[in-house]
Structure 1
Amino acid sequence: MDQVTGRLEKPRQGWTGLWNISFGFFGIQIGFALQNANMSRIFQSLGASIDDLPWLWAAAPLTGLLVQPIIGFMSDRTWLGRFGRRRPYFVAGAVLAALSLLLMPLAPMLLAAAVLLWMLDASLNISMEPFRAFVGDQLRRDQHTTGYAVQTAFIGAGAVVGSLFPYLLEHWGVANVAPGGGIPDTVKWSFWAGGVALFLAVMWTVLTTREYSPEEMRGFGEEVEGDGSQTVRALAARTYGGSLLWVGAGALVVLAVVELALEKEVYLLGGLLITYGLLSAIAIALAKQGRPATMLGSLVGDFSGMPPVMKQLALVQFFSWSALFIMWINTTPVIAQYFFATTDADSAAYQEAGNWVGVLFAVYNGVAAIAALAILPALAKRIGKARTHAICLIAGALGYASFFVFRDPQHLLIAEVGVGIAWASILAMPYAILASALPQAKLGTYMGLFNIFIVVPQLLVATVMGSIMKAFFPGEPIWTMAFAAGVMALAAMATLRVKEA
């Protein structure tokens, strides 16, 4: 019981409880790691050029943009008795993600691989979004930093396993080059093993945890149900000016594509801005008519009325995830061209470069797993979460910049240490800051909406980066790492504006 308020508190979780709450993320991150380290390789093995990669990758963040807010909203309002509030979504996402991983290596053509990437990312997001809220559900506020640090450690460990699969299989004698081109056996078996591991890890959390009932949550002083009336009133008081601005911004983007001959992928960005403007106008109109709160109205209203700390973190997330997405898309072609002297996706050297990228990704994720437990909680306790985050992001910026310094691919392991420290903080600190400042009744919704600031920069990179590289650095993908270093440094500067609760 809290000695100040006299209110019941959630039991403090020991290491076993923290392990069980977050172990499912180990499997989810195996899926993300296989996707991040190998999808460019799969696309190019099926005939895609380097210029095709951004729009092929655009499916992944677009899926997250659509899925996470919806799943967050739904999981806030779900209670299936002993099956709980978040766990049904863990199971549904795990089944679909495992199926996607099993089918991906069998894709007969580029279009099929792109569709399966869409399905895989949607499935991973269905499981992942409730896991973020699950930590806030299960833990006391004074354990949020430790809870998200443990979750980050499992994310790092899962990513190490997923990233190393192809490299290890090659050393165990599995063919790393497909006869006549195509997806090699190292990648196929990695995806199949990853699908099984993902499902088993998620089921571990499902079977070893019990969610607090709505009555128990109320006993802890946390409201778990909101009628949405305040959101409807706030929407009804708004004008349509903001909606028109969103539509106008989207129209300007579309016009710029036509007039400036930008890449056609940029149409996607314009379409998203127009769509949001129209949806917000519909939500405002329904609210003005006195309609009860709907999913659309709640999401639009909560997005426009998000807490101040969430707005401050939004800019940090925008820059951070822009840098990460640049890395995920471009590391394989950069390593192949500048460290293995090849641009031929069917060559043995290119496949060797692809395996080395897996090792590099495993290193930064391994560093993240260690840093999450050994550095973040202690440093955050001493100087605060926001300053801790800023220091870690600077380490990431230096890691990206060092790609211009090193010439031996082995030396890039040093660069990945900085990237790993930044990755650990990106996965833990913003959520620890946010979870302590959000109302429990809307924790899933706000965590889902927070994902918008992860997805939008990825879509921006996917649609605009290709045009920038073609215009200023044609055939020189190494310069993408300069962009990554720059925007990560901007993220560190933006963190200094964040006011913790």
Structure 2
Amino acid sequence: MTTLIRQPAREKPRQSFWGLWNISFGYFGIQIAFALQNANVSRIFQSLGSSVDDLAFLWIAGPVTGLIVQPLIGYHSDRTWGFLGRRRPYFLAGAVLAGLALIGLPNTGLLLLAAAFLWLLDASLNVAMEPFRAFAGDMTPDDQRAQAFAFQTCFIGAGAVLGSLAPALFNWLGIPNVAPEGVIPPSVRYSFYLGAAAMVFSVGWTVLRVREYSPDEMAEFDPGSDHDHGAEHEPLIYPRSGPFWTIAGIVMLGLVQALALDKQLYVLGAGLCAFGLIQIGVRATSARGALAHIVSDLAQMPVQMRQLAFAQFFTWIGFFIVWIYTTPVVTAQAFGATDTTSLAYNEGADWVGIMFAFYNGVAAVAAFLLPILARRIGNAATHAVGLLCGAAGFVGILLIRNPDALLLPMVGMGIAWASVLSMPYVILTRVLPPRKFGIYIGIFNFFIVIPQLVVATLMGGVMRSFFPGEPRWTMLVAALMMTAAAAAMILVKENAKVTGE
């Protein structure tokens, strides 16, 4: 009998400062685009005639797109080995498409067309962004992972500062920030052009400056894993819960129809049906394609990933509410304006951009401080502290009416944002199989976009039922969600060998 000898793993080389810089620089442009979207899309929708109550539903493009695109991109990027490497083809394709969407979004005069461009922008940003988390895992050893995510968070913060400030900066240069009804102000349009150029440049920098490891090299770092063929022949698990999810979706659709509930709930019902039917389909056919692998890996998530899912769910409900409603809250509460064509409204909307820039600047600094705290109290406890800072910040937006003083709650929001962008991934990438970084980080995105989908379908009805004409109370809902997320971090039991940094 022949005994197979398992070769010892080759240690993955540590990255230099500039190596970490090049690996992460693409996030700078991606986050400029995200910041422009977060700070200005509600403004664009309102300028094109959307009511405050309908804003949440129009934002539905993001979560739906992420739910579909990210796991598929993760699955295929794990299995892509071409002349551009493993992850870089997706960076480049996403950057080019996002650039086109950024040019188109502020130049349409139709609300539905603007929503379509938002859908394209979100899909493209997801294609470009999803592999970056896995990319950091691919290119760094375990003990340098937190440093790599800190660099990513720093570039995210820096890009978001520029993206959030862009309309106000263009206005300071003399470009008008007001326009007739149904027209997007020139300062906003020019900001989106800047975002398109920055997106292509920064992602192109990473694509051209980083050489990814080959399949043979990855196999040396992770002996026994089939990096070259993506473990296509591994046994799959086909869950039996498909009929349950399908029936739950049908029941929800029936209740919406019978009780004349908010029609936006049709989206949730249809989503449950689709999830159930996918499970039924892959089980009935014993499929082995992308959907089958996603369903199987979802059923086999590491325990830490399951524990983190609860915290992610509440966290992203909180942040998504704040991104949607900060503009109408601040313009009404601190600037006394609801008319989107008025100077006061547009000054308030510009100030929201400055607020968002400030919290992202705080996040860029906090990104390098959180690992220091994590060495003392652990990654999970550090993340809980960060989330509580965010809850305090959201309460501040509710209570404070002075525009300048609104920068104070942005400190708490920035600390929370830095933690959200780094701590869960430090915990996660230490327990995931390296050959599946892409697909599992894509699946992890479920617990980011599902809560966003919940907000997008439910928050409009909640607004009309509980806070008619008073969007500021959404900030209290967001604060409660972040507090629940911090409490959920108690469930996360880090592996003893990987606690802290």
Please give the TM-score of this superposition, normalised by the length of structure 2: 0.95
Structure 1: gaps spanning 5 or more residues? none
Once the two structures are TM-superposed, the CA of residue 441 in structure 1 deviates from its matched residue by: 1.5
CA distance in 2, matches of 1:262, 1:306: 35
% identical equivalent positions:
54
The one of 310, 314, 325 equivalent to 1:315 is 310
Q: Does structure 1 residue 227 correspond to structure 2 residue 231? A: yes
CA distance in 2, matches of 1:215, 1:167: 50
What SS class does the counterpart of residue 471 from structure 2 fall into?
coil
Name whichever of 393-402 and 342-351 sits farther off: 342-351
The one of 423, 442, 455 equivalent to 2:417 is 423
The one of 461, 467, 471 equivalent to 2:465 is 471
Once the two structures are TM-superposed, the CA of residue 249 in structure 1 deviates from its matched residue by: 1.8
CA distance in 2, matches of 1:266, 1:423: 29
Q: Which residue of 2 aligns with 1:494?
A: 488
Cα deviation code 1:142-198 (max 9, x no counterpart):
111111111011101100000000011111110011145520001000000110011
Q: Which residue of 2 aligns with 1:256?
A: 255
Q: Which residue of 1 aligns with 2:353?
A: 358
CA distance in 2, matches of 1:145, 1:130: 17
Q: Which residue of 2 aligns with 1:306?
A: 301
Q: Does structure 1 residue 436 correspond to structure 2 residue 430? A: yes
Cα deviation code 1:235-281 (max 9, x no counterpart):
2xx43xx1111112212322332244322111101100000000001
1:42 and 1:183 in contact (8 A); partners too: yes
The one of 380, 391, 406 equivalent to 2:400 is 406
Once the two structures are TM-superposed, the CA of residue 227 in structure 1 deviates from its matched residue by: 2.9
CA distance in 1, matches of 2:463, 2:106: 30
1:228 and 1:298 in contact (8 A); partners too: no
What SS class does the counterpart of residue 47 from structure 1 fall into?
coil
Q: Which residue of 1 aligns with 2:337?
A: 342
What SS class does the counterpart of residue 496 from structure 1 fall into?
helix
What SS class does the counterpart of residue 478 from structure 1 fall into?
helix
Aligned residues between the structures: 486
CA distance in 2, matches of 1:227, 1:78: 13
Once the two structures are TM-superposed, the CA of residue 6 in structure 1 deviates from its matched residue by: 5.3
Amino acid of the structure 2 residue aligned with 1:165? A
Q: Which residue of 2 aligns with 1:187?
A: 188
Once the two structures are TM-superposed, the CA of residue 108 in structure 1 deviates from its matched residue by: 2.2
CA distance in 2, matches of 1:231, 1:336: 55
Q: Which residue of 1 aligns with 2:67?
A: 65
Amino acid of the structure 1 residue aligned with 2:72? I
Once the two structures are TM-superposed, the CA of residue 228 in structure 1 deviates from its matched residue by: 4.2
Amino acid of the structure 2 residue aligned with 1:488? M
| 1:39-438 superposed matches below 5 A | 39-81=41-83, 83-222=84-223, 223=225, 224=227, 225-232=229-236, 234-235=237-238, 238-239=239-240, 242-287=241-286, 293-373=288-368, 375-438=369-432
What SS class does the counterpart of residue 65 from structure 1 fall into?
helix
Amino acid of the structure 2 residue aligned with 1:26? F
What SS class does the counterpart of residue 174 from structure 2 fall into?
coil
CA distance in 1, matches of 2:250, 2:181: 45
CA distance in 2, matches of 1:304, 1:77: 20
Q: In angstroms, what is the RMSD of aligned CA positions? A: 1.3
Once the two structures are TM-superposed, the CA of residue 316 in structure 1 deviates from its matched residue by: 0.8
CA distance in 1, matches of 2:268, 2:232: 30
Amino acid of the structure 2 residue aligned with 1:21? I
1:231 and 1:301 in contact (8 A); partners too: no
What SS class does the counterpart of residue 49 from structure 2 fall into?
coil
2:379 and 2:423 in contact (8 A); partners too: yes
Q: Which residue of 2 aligns with 1:10?
A: 12
Once the two structures are TM-superposed, the CA of residue 26 in structure 1 deviates from its matched residue by: 0.5
CA distance in 2, matches of 1:399, 1:133: 30
1:391 and 1:492 in contact (8 A); partners too: yes
CA distance in 2, matches of 1:367, 1:473: 31
1:231 and 1:302 in contact (8 A); partners too: no
CA distance in 2, matches of 1:209, 1:481: 41
Amino acid of the structure 2 residue aligned with 1:186? S
Q: Which residue of 2 aligns with 1:457?
A: 451
What SS class does the counterpart of residue 339 from structure 2 fall into?
coil
Name whichever of 389-398 and 173-182 sits farther off: 173-182
CA distance in 2, matches of 1:227, 1:396: 40
Name whichever of 487-496 and 100-109 sits farther off: 100-109
